[in-house]
Structure 1
């Protein structure tokens, strides 16, 4: 008997929650990732380079800004958007991150916090991926404390704003066209958002090197030195960190989906290995302890997938809140980390070789575990929701 890892990963037929047209869309993404990305991604991961040759194909899939309505965006469901994020990460979490930064964080900031004119000006080009976006919130000295501790400043100067500061870990910024920069207004102390063209004088990027995770993602350290931004490029509906948080609420759900995809990719490759690798005259997939690891992985994936599916349904109904995204992100990334560890354990020494397509997921899981809110920060958000008591300091 032969086993198709793709079929076994969807153990409870969760793809059936999509309508037939959405399933066709998802399978189109799967085919592209399998045929065009999977054969080349290890080479780029090893070099820390980005496969720009796949961008036209990603563009043709039409997945940028998938759940947004109007302004040239597809207007599909959050459920489909989540499963697409999972599908991208199932082949490579870095490509899922590239798409999530552009379509989720950058486009999402404009979609949720921009006025109608700004949406019409930016979103159609971004949906076609004619302009690639980035999202600048995290700073060298400020990660989890972004709500009140941003050091990047914005000062009003007539019809413009002057931005100064630094941003760190900004995906897509080394080659993108525009970056949404979040800065503290020195007059009222509130966090505001600005759409900044990357070729603006004073806007400088340097690539972060020597990463051990998401090596394909081109993360930048951004330095803003008296960067002048027109008032028309200030996101007009972003008046405090509460508005920034609305973007993070949406994209944090996407990261939970990516965690499921990362776990799924490790599981599927481990299962293929177990079916092919022979010891003592038979495939190791027939050994009890190997099957125990496979079932542990599958249980983690299935429970996380089901949690994310329900979260996306709540998003589609307009009922999702911070607590829902935070529980999904915290839970799914912990289960992901456990799952990729099981996959690496199953492969033994071969688990650290890129050629077996598990070690990359093990490494990339470490970044997914941390970004868009650590487990601890998301735990505090959920803890406050269930007790009514804030444990934030």
Structure 2
């Protein structure tokens, strides 16, 4: 690689082994446009909106207009999607979470859970953001135990021939009535639909529905007082006798095994977010120590600082290698619970150390938003917990290794 080519690399500091070279020129060009937008348009707003606890809505449409979900013919397409998430998280975890709520969670839910007819209708609208939605699984009292503890209910009520459906028109298929609550649902307040998971009272199995956010009986309340992902608008959702047409039920979700298939695919996105957060914290810390003077010399010239920088880079390099290999396997159709669980578990563990080291080398300024590191340090705690805590993912891996489930029954 020539010197000029090195200068043009997106990740010259954080990508020591040049994983970016696996991407096509077209893919790097799209990522470069994304990088420019984030650095020029988004970065000046992040500290202010993080402190305010508000999402910078003026960034939403420009991000959509970048058409990041458009597929490429390159064999590295899966890796491109991963680097798209990496780049967003490298700037801000809330931006990455906001985007993957649509591009990852909702899109995967429909790809895995919807019928072919439903996919033909909904997926193009998801890709162009004309149908915005969020994944609504977690409940106020059920997170890690959601498989057995999910308490939101769905009751089917048939409509007699010629009767009226929930929208007042003929609907021979009948409709479902949902009751319950969901919590920590990011982006719910601006979504068109909520992808709600509920337990069918007839057979006790989990079903999934696209619920109109404005439907009677749906209440969406912003969760206040967060110390992480402050820009992301997480919501508490209450469902009181909410009617949903049978046509809006995801036809291929008929048990928690079908939900688990979604989670298996989604966790790779979170592993990419955890990796991108590390890169953002590392780059912010590196820039700081190279300009900060102490004892008449730059902080970056001290042995202890360099050792911490090296550990951070080691974590990032290992995380990039892990998520790329996982993505390559999934691109070949290999989806195993233990693979995505291991990636989420390990990248999040290394992320926690990396952001702590970044905050440490920046010193007292590491707790201020001005140095950027503080956002990554705080936001990492949310990413460490969602899409499966460290312990839950470890038990998934342990079950695969031993053949014995250690989950509490």
User: TM-score category by the smaller chain?
Assistant: over 0.9
2:339 matches 1:324: yes
1:248 aligns with 2:301: no
Contact 1:192 1:238 in 2 (8 A): yes
Match of 2:318 among 294, 303, 313: 303
Partner residue, 1:126:
126
Gap runs ≥5 in structure 1: none
Partners in 2 of 1:351 and 1:271 — Cα distance? 12
Cα offset, 1:211, TM superposition:
0.2
Provide Cα deviations, 1:74-124, integer angstroms capped at 9, x if missing partner.
998221111111110000000000011111111211111101221222222
Deviation (angstroms), 1:5: 9.5
Partner of 1:139: 139
Separation of aligned partners in 1, 2:189 and 2:72: 26
Match of 1:52 among 34, 50, 57: 57
Structure 1 residues 301-357: Cα deviation after superposition (integer angstroms, max 9, x where no partner): 000110000000001111131111000000000000000000000011000000000
The Cα of 1:8 is off from its aligned counterpart by: 1.6
Quick check: 1:106–1:134 contact (8 Å CA) kept in 2?
A: yes
Which of residues 224, 233, 247 in structure 2 aligns to 1:209?
Answer: 224
Residue 313 of structure 1 corresponds to 328
Find the residue that maps to 1:210 and give its secondary structure: coil
What is the CA–CA distance in structure 1 between the aligned matches of 2:214 and 2:24, rounded to whole Å? 42
Flag the 1:134–1:29 CA change in 2: closer, same or farther, 3 A: same
More deviation, 285-294/121-130? 121-130
Q: Match of 2:131, SS?
A: coil
1:42 equivalent to 2:47? Answer yes
Structure 1 runs of 4+ aligned residues shifted over 4 Å read 66-69
Q: Which residue of 2 aligns with 1:108?
A: 108
CA RMSD of aligned residues (A): 1.8
Alignment partners' CA distance in 2, 1:114 and 1:6: 37
- The within-5 A match list for 1:285-304 is 285-304=300-319
Tell whether 2:238 aligns with 1:223.
Answer: yes
Instruction: Classify the secondary structure of the residue corresponding to 2:13.
Output: helix
1:24 corresponds to 2:29: yes
The secondary structure found in structure 2 opposite 1:8 is coil
Aligned-pair CA distance for 1:67 = 6.1
Please say if residues 23 and 76 of structure 2, whose CA atoms lie closer than 8 Å, have aligned partners that are also in contact. no
Bigger drift between 129-138 and 176-185 goes to: 129-138
- TM-score of the two chains, using structure 2 as the length reference: 0.92
Contact 1:169/1:221, CA 8 A, preserved across alignment: yes
Does the 8 A contact of 2:22 with 2:76 survive in 1?
no
The verdict on how the C-alpha distance between 1:48 and 1:75 changes in structure 2, with shifts beyond 3 A counting, is farther
TM-score (norm 1): 0.95
Question: How many residues end up aligned between the 2 structures?
Answer: 386
Instruction: Tell me the secondary structure at the aligned position of residue 372 of structure 1.
Output: coil
Aligned match of 2:295 in 272, 275, 280? 280
For 1:34 and 1:248, the matched residues in 2 are separated by: 31
Cα distance in 2 for partners of 1:63, 1:116 equals 24
The answer as to 2:402 corresponding to 1:387 is: yes
2:152 aligned with 1:166: no
Corresponding residue of 2:99:
99
- Partner Cα distance (1:76, 1:41) in 2: 31
1:361 maps to 376
Report if aligned partners of 1:132, 1:172 keep a CA contact under 8 Å in 2: no
Give the Cα–Cα distance (whole angstroms) in 1 for the partners of residues 376 and 275 of structure 2: 11
Structure 1 Cα separation of the partners of residues 248 and 285 of structure 2: 48
Distance 1:43 1:104, change over 3 A: same
Query: Do 1:269 and 1:356's aligned partners in 2 also have CA atoms closer than 8 Å?
Result: yes
Deviation at 1:31, TM superposition (A): 1.6
| Whole-angstrom CA distance in 1 between matches of 2:51 and 2:75 | 36
Q: Give the conservation status (yes or no) of the 8 Å contact 1:354–1:360.
A: yes
Give, in whole Å, the separation in 2 of the partners of 1:392 and 1:186.
25
| Aligned: 1:348 with 2:363 | yes
Bigger Rg over Cα = 2
Task: Give the equivalent residue in structure 2 for 1:61.
Answer: 66
SS of aligned partner of 1:88? helix
